[in-house]
Amino acid sequence: MFWVTKVAKSALDKALAENDDIDGILGSPQLPDVAVSPPDLNQPLIVKIDPPQNSDEKQSW
């Protein structure tokens, strides 16, 4: 288990070092700011359930 952790940490360090080189060239894209409306926590959660299919119909899965 120790060896796996050591190899994973080494791979992560290498990827982060390579990413720093690329960031200097390309820059990191900025995501657009989106206004998110807060959910109304006083409203109940409504889940819609489809009615079961007739047994005569063939399912296509």
Q: What is the pLDDT of residue 38?
A: 66
Q: Do the Cβ atoms of 59 and 53 come closer than 8 Å?
A: yes
Q: What is the pLDDT of residue 56?
A: 60
d(CA 37, CA 15): 36
Q: Do the Cβ atoms of 43 and 37 come closer than 8 Å?
A: no
Tell whether the torsion through CA atoms of 10, 16, 22 and 24 is positive or negative: negative
Instruction: Give me the amino acid identity at 61.
Output: W
Q: What is the pLDDT of residue 44?
A: 75
Structure tokens at 37: 């409306």
Q: Indicate whether this model's pTM tops 0.95.
A: no
Q: 43: which DSSP letter?
A: S
